[in-house]
Every structure is written in structure tokens, then in C-alpha cells.
Structure 1
Amino acid sequence: MIFTEKMDKLKQEIGKVIIGKDMEVELMAISLLFNGHILLESVPGTGKTMLAKSFANAIGGGFSRIQFTPDVLPSDVTGIQFFNPKIQEFELRPGPIMENIVLADEINRATPRTQSSLLEVMEERQVTIDGVTVPLEEPFMVIATQNPVESQQGTFSLPIAQMDRFFIKIKVGYPIYEDERRIMQIHRGDLIIKTIAQVLSISEIVQLQTTVNDIHISADIENYLLTIVRKTREHNSIELGVSPRGTITLMKASQGKAILNNRTYVTPDDVKAVAPYVLSHRIVLSFEGSLTKTSENIISEILDSIPVPVEAGENE
């Protein structure tokens, strides 16, 4: 498939400045296929911002960054209508949200009011400013970051309704020993982000997004996927299970993984590969469950507890 070839080039380009993040790039590419939004979580200094910028450069999309703080207002995100005295008319001043790739840096530092201003944009892909609705250009993706270490210092937890709107959540960890050595070597050579070449165009992305409709899901895979979701609603350590939106997202992400694996049908391995990134942020643990386990632990337990169907082929 053309997408598989493009993905290899995408990973090569981003790999020039972002070392050891092939899985993260794959997940971002899957999200791009569905205009899905991404939540990156890690401690500062692990390359979240550089990863987002490199991704935007490689796909040739417009990029903007919003640095969230408690004093950022909704209008700072969406834009305003202002009166131009020269022409005696109101004009639209677009906010930074009106780009293809938007980096919402430290989103959990924004107040709930400002966070809610993103809900319409992320779900409806449009902005309403003083009663005027402006549709956003495709593709559109919000890449939000949050720092778990500072979760108790001047931050506001994202509501479950907003968490549910993120296609996937990726925890960006520390690099392994040899990857960190390569990072040092690259930066000694003063390699900067402008060396990233564009490997996809906006028109190619829009065209590739139509290919997901051709990815087959057998009845056995559907049952497997639905069983996983149902288990999250019945688990005694989970207070709130995965929503129907999460079910649809898991289906789409599995189709995206199949495309990356150069297949026209979904296998159980595709579902298992993406499930932790799609489901972990969509569940709310009970008090007792949160004392001994993480969301990722429980999703892993659920996946291990469900019999895996025999892999279905394209025509089954």
C-alpha cells in the first residue's frame, strides 16, 4: 500500500531528530487517518513538543502552538470578532486553533472554562465566534500534552468528556540507554528541526483517509472487540467503563493498524496492539482499584482474560 511506504519515510524523517519513537509515530499516523486527537503525557524534556513539530513538518501541514496557563481565555484559543474602524465593519481574527496540527501544550494548566472551549473544536471541527461558525480545514488534529508530575500544582484535571475525545493517549517515557547516546550525538552536530523533509501533502492525506473504508472487519473480530469493551463496564475495579465512542475509536484504530501492516483486513493482533492506547484514558477506576492498579494494568488484564479468535482473513 502507498500508505505503508509513506509511513516508512515518515518514520525515517522524524527519526532524524526524534530517536526511538517509532511506535509513537505509528500511533500518530493512525490518528491522522481519522483526524483523531492525541494526548501525550510525560515529564518535561522528553521531546513531546519536538515530536509534534516534526510530525507537522513531515506531513506539510500548518502548525500552531498554544501554551496553556490559567490566564488563557477561550477567545485566545478560538479567536475573536473585532471592529475595524477603517471599514466600519467587524472582522474575524482567527485564533491559533485554526491550523492543521495544533499543539495544546500543558493543557491541564488551562481552566475548565478554557478547556471546554476546545470541546466543540475537537468534536465538531468548527469554531463558533460571536455566533459565527467557521469550519476548520482538513486534516485537523489537536496534539495535547500534560505533565503528570505537576498534577497537584496549579493544574486542572481534564473532565472525562474531554478525555473521551482524544483518539489515543501516549505516555512518552525516557529513552533507553543507547537511544539517549544517539540523542547526544545528534545534538552535538547541531541538527535542527528544519532538516525534516515533507513526505506527505495535505491532498495525499485526505486521499489516504478514504482508504480506511476498505479495511475489512470479520464478525469474529467484531465480537472480540465488543467483548473487550464490555469487560471494562463489568470489571470490579472500574467505576466507569468505555463509552460507545470508545468502541468506535477502537474499531477505527484497529483498521489503521491493519493499514500500517499492509493488510486489507483486521486481525486480533491489530486490536491488541492499539487497545491500551485507545482505552486506558477512557476508564475511571474505583477508589479501591486505584490503590493497587493503573488503568494500563487493568486493560492489560482484560486483554489477557479474553480468548483470542482465530485470525480471520480478508474474505471471512
Structure 2
Amino acid sequence: SHLIGSFNPATTIQKGFSFEAFNPGPLIKAMLNGGLFLANEINRATEYTQNSLLEPLEERTLSIPHIGRVKSSPGFFFIGAMNPSELVGTHRLGEALKDRFNVWIELDYPDKKTEMKIIEHNNPYYKVEESILEKIYLIINRTRTHHQVQTPASLRSGIALARLTGVAQKRNKKADSNKILRNLASNVLFGAIQAKPGVKAKDVIVNIISQVLGSA
């Protein structure tokens, strides 16, 4: 109902099940305005939600009970973004829905320069030095190449680590930046990565941090 919309109870009592009493959801708004609709993490959607997308993607219309069929305006465009299917919480996309996406683009991690800019952009209040920012990138990137890591850290982990480091440096300007980064990275990575079976995540994290910052 959030995606499509729902009837306002008070207005419905006064005017019945009319479009005037209907509060359109984001999908209906995008269709009516001929806008862009982004379904982020679409493979976390339930089967019911996935099925509700079949008509808009195929017919560019959507049937609403008591109102009828809503037609999309020219320019309506639907984009779906999804996580790797092996991640916890994802659902398999139905073949009918997959068939309605005309173009598929596989995205990898951004390059070093771009990722550092993204981390910096998302940390406007507590700036960190370029050298620290590079170490943060190297720590996060090392989780993606380490042979004992099954699920690596995402870009969000780099953003979180930069923010926490900036806060810690502001509170204690005389503290050693490597020591701050070492302690914070341990905490951030512990909840961000998944080690391979039979391997302790804590040991992997210590190894990764040591590779970038050296031994404690």
C-alpha cells in the first residue's frame, strides 16, 4: 500500500472511493508525473510487492480498486537496484519480473579516487586528512581481497569509519591518528565483514589492520 497508495478514511467517508480520496504512493506519483522511479534494493521486496510491479513495467498502467486503471504519463522510467543475491534478507526475483527489465548493468566497487571522494563527501562536518582517508580506503578495500573474508565491508563502512575518526580527532587533537584508526576500524569491521567458515572474524580484522597500519 505504501508503494501504490491508499484511501484517506475521513475523505472516503465524505466522498466515497474516488481518486480525490486516494493518497497516491511514490510509484503512482512517478507514473502520473512522467518521472523517474528508483526501486532501491528491489530484491528485498516480498513476492506480493514484486507482483504489483508487473503491470506498470509491462503495460505502463496500474489498476487501483474502486478507481480503475491509471495510465503513466510519457517519460515514466523505472530503475531497480539490487544487492547480491547471497546477502541475508534478499529474495529471489521472479522470472516474470526479471523478464520486464530490458537492460541489466552489473556494478563493481568504485575506483580508489572515486570511493575516497564519496567517503569525503559523506563526512562534511568532521574532516579527516588525506593521508587518513587513504588509510581508511585501504582498510576497507583489503576486506574485498583478503582470502579469509567471505563478505567484505561496504562503502558505508568507510563512511562510518571516516566520521568516527573525525569525531575522535576533534575531541582529542593530540591523540595518535593511527591508534584512533586502529581501535575504530576494529569496531566497525567486526559488524561489517563475515569471515569464511572456520575462521574467526577478529583474527582476520587484526591481520587486515596490521597490513595497512603495521603491527600495534
TM-score (norm 2): 0.46
- Please say which structure displays the higher CA radius of gyration: 2
TM-score (norm 1): 0.33
